[in-house]
Amino acid sequence: MSVHKTNDAFKVLMNSAKEPIVEDIPKKYRKQSFRDNLKVYIESPESYKNVIYYDDDVVLVRDMFPKSKMHLLLMTRDPHLTHVHPLEIMMKHRSLVEKLVSYVQGDLSGLIFDEARNCLSQQLTNEALCNYIKVGFHAGPSMNNLHLHIMTLDHVSPSLKNSAHYISFTSPFFVKIDTPTSNLPTRGTLTSLFQEDLKCWRCGETFGRHFTKLKAHLQEEYDDWLDKSVSM
């Protein structure tokens, strides 16, 4: 597949963020770049119903266009760090990484599990959910404010609309929060991933570039996992 097509796929991912992030963006923000749309949550978290937690340091919000059954964003409210690239955060600001991890594994874990049960099934245990949630950054984020993705593995969602969406969360482009600094990718080097064949994250079956077939398969995989998990 040509480099031109690779770049097109990457552009699809970046341009997809032009979907509005909030239902009622205040007038003072409407003329800003779509890449700044997360800023409203940081500055006025109390104003948005999809914010499920906030304090002086962080905001936890439901992604308005989730790419899985459950898809949350955890954002720092530190004005000095909110615009730092996530790879630089993981390389040079380990204290923030550790703080975010402590929120996910500690203070916010109950909220996250409850949210997952609300989105998937009330019959799921914390143990089952713990193995079905991933946490990480995009190596090339489409939004300016630093945001950590907390999401279930299924990738079953109407908002998962194209191959680029899927690849961005199931390839090294999605940098897990526990990735050692020595294994971090170099900025701008992962766009070739978007030309690769689509592969099921769970069973490894490949679908070429047939996104519709992959989506149907992902639903089957989710149904199978859920049936087995609630029967444990």
With beta carbons less than 8 A apart as the criterion, state whether 60 and 76 touch: no
Q: Please name which of 51, 71, 53 lies closest in space to residue 63, comparing C-alpha atoms.
A: 71
Judge whether 119 is annotated as a binding position.
no
Q: Which amino acid type is present at position 84?
A: V
The answer to the question of whether 88 is labelled as a binding residue is no
Reply yes or no on whether 147 is catalytic.
yes
Helix (H, G, I), strand (E, B) or coil at 75: strand
Show the CA angle centred on residue 32, arms to residues 150 and 6, nearest 5°: 60
Which of 156, 173, 168 minimizes the C-alpha distance to 221? 156
Cβ(33)–Cβ(24) below 8 Å: no
> CA 56 to CA 161: how far, in whole Å?
35
Q: What single-letter DSSP state applies at residue 25?
A: -
> Distance between CA 171 and CA 9 in Å, rounded?
14
Asked whether residue 200 is marked as a ligand-binding residue, the answer is yes
221 in a labelled binding site: yes
**CA–CA distance, 160 with 168 (Å, rounded to integer):** 11
The Cα 24–Cα 48 span in angstroms is: 9
Vertex 165: Cα angle to 160 and 166 (nearest 5): 85
- 93, 138, 147, 155: which is the annotated catalytic residue? 147
Positions annotated as catalytic residues are 147
Binding-site residues from annotation: 200, 203, 217, 221
Binding-site residues from annotation for Zn(2+): 200, 203, 217, 221
